[in-house]
């Protein structure tokens, strides 16, 4: 496994963890009250979800490119 694949795998795992934390915190009482009155989640929850998605996508791409480069 080359370094690009390792970094991709780490980013993918970090992205999944951040996304799960964001989804769990979006169901908290504070976030539900905030969403009721403002129509959106708290800023921290939004950053967890967006950061998790971005990290997961980047990690998946790096992992795919790293594995494809190894097979060529």
CA distance 16 to 55: 8
Number of folded domains that form the chain: 1
Tell me the per-residue pLDDT of 33-62, one tens digit each, with 9 for 90 and over: 988 899 888 899 999 999 999 999 999 999
- Taking the C-alpha atoms of residue 71 and residue 65, their distance in angstroms, rounded to an integer, is 10
Domain that holds residue 13: 3-71
pTM of the model: 0.83
pLDDT tens digit sequence for 11-33: 999 999 999 999 999 888 988 89
């Amino acid at each position: 496994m080359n370094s690009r694949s390792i970094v991709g795998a780490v980013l993918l795992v970090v992205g999944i963890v951040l996304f799960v934390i964001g989804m769990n915190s979006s169901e908290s009482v504070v976030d539900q009250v905030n969403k009721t009155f403002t129509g959106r989640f708290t800023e921290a929850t939004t950053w967890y979800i967006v950061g998790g998605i971005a990290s997961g996508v980047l990690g998946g791409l790096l992992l795919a490119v790293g594995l494809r480069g190894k097979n060529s």
